[in-house]
């Protein structure tokens, strides 16, 4: 089991964490956001946090996710001249991508910086394939970091998310990154995957990044514990038997990294090029903040 933290960020850093919050720099702006896993004490003082930050997310305690129990909505309190939107860059080898960030009512800002190591993995894996425009499916694709990485490496990318506004946001990132021709699909991920299986379509890579709980555009319900097993079985039918790779990310608190390992082994069988573990960021004070679990594997030769 691996512990992985991205190494190539210049425009992101975790300055401090603790007290159920994190102090982060995105480009020139420093934010305070809730972080339920940061149960330890802050290393810096409250006055240092207050001095350093440009914007702080304040939770609305009347807004509770009925599935997780987490307080999710709230508002941003900004210091003078702090923008509500700005752009940051991410560079890795010949990949240069841009993200438009924005202060949303759900504390998210349009990027999960811990996913950068997966973007590198996607880029490297597609380059290694030496296949002209390998087909890549990105499910629950959000604002498109994985889609941009795949497109930058020369892939034919299908980007699926159920929220129209998020699709528009991902399109902005594509244009800002100087990329084009990603196929955008606004649909429930499970419905889309079932239809792709019925059509007999195949992909060289699948990126699966589901939330613990969600809704499709027509009210379709997604519950991770109830539907992940079926989703991975369907992905098994869509993934090419060779020259292919698969990435699974999970953010549900309490999930062990052994859970996706068991799922993947049960469904895909024995895999030689497989790795799984936790993604994390160290803050500048030395604490390691866990930010989700992952599993990824490659198939470089036909199955026996």
**Which has more pLDDT, 217 or 31?**
31
Q: Is the pLDDT of residue 63 over 60?
A: no
> Any bridge partners for residue 275, and if so which?
296
276: closest CA among 287, 284, 285, 268? 268
Q: Is the pLDDT of residue 100 over 90?
A: yes
Domains belonging to the chain, first-starting first, are 2-86 (2.60.40.1180), 112-299 (3.40.50.150)
The stretch 258-285 carries a mean pLDDT of: 94
pTM for this model (two decimals): 0.94
Give 3-state DSSP helix, strand, coil % of the chain, rounded to 5.
25, 35, 40
Distances (CA, A) of 235 to 65, 113, 119, 160, 267: 28, 25, 20, 14, 10
Contacts of 89 (CB under 8 A, 6+ apart): 10, 11, 96, 97, 98, 99
Share of the chain above pLDDT 70, in %: 94
Q: Which pLDDT score, from 0 to 100, does residue 304 have? A: 41
Over residues 135-157, the pLDDT tens digits come to 999 999 999 999 999 999 999 99
Over residues 223-267, the pLDDT tens digits come to 888 999 999 999 999 999 999 999 999 986 678 999 999 999 999
Q: Which pLDDT score, from 0 to 100, does residue 280 have? A: 96
């Amino acid at each position: 089991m691996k512990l992985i933290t991205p190494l190539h960020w210049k425009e992101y850093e975790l300055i401090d964490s603790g007290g159920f919050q994190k102090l982060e720099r995105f480009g020139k702006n420093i934010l305070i956001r809730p972080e339920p896993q940061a149960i330890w004490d802050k290393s810096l003082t409250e006055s240092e946090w207050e001095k350093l930050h440009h914007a702080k997310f304040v939770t609305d305690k009347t807004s509770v996710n009925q599935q997780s129990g987490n307080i999710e909505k709230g508002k941003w309190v900004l210091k003078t001249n702090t923008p509500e939107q700005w752009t940051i860059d991410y560079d890795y080898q010949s990949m240069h991508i841009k993200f438009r960030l924005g202060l949303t009512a759900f504390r998210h800002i349009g990027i999960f910086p811990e996913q950068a190591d997966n973007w590198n993995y996607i880029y490297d894996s597609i380059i290694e394939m030496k296949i002209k425009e390998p087909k890549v499916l990105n499910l629950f694709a959000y604002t498109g970091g994985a889609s941009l990485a795949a497109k930058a490496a020369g892939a034919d990318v299908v980007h699926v998310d159920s929220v129209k506004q998020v699709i528009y946001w991902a399109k902005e990132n594509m244009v800002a990154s100087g990329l084009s021709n990603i196929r955008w699909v606004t649909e429930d991920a499970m419905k889309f995957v079932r239809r792709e299986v019925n059509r007999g379509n195949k992909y060289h890579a699948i990126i699966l990044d589901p939330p613990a709980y969600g809704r499709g555009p027509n009210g379709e319900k997604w519950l991770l514990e109830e539907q992940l097993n079926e989703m991975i079985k369907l992905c098994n039918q869509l993934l090419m038997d060779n020259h292919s790779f698969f990435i699974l990310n999970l953010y549900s608190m309490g999930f062990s990294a052994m859970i996706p390992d068991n799922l993947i082994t049960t469904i895909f069988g024995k895999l030689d090029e497989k790795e799984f573990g936790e993604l994390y960021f160290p803050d500048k004070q030395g604490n390691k903040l866990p930010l989700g679990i992952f599993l990824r594997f490659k198939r470089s030769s036909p199955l026996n």
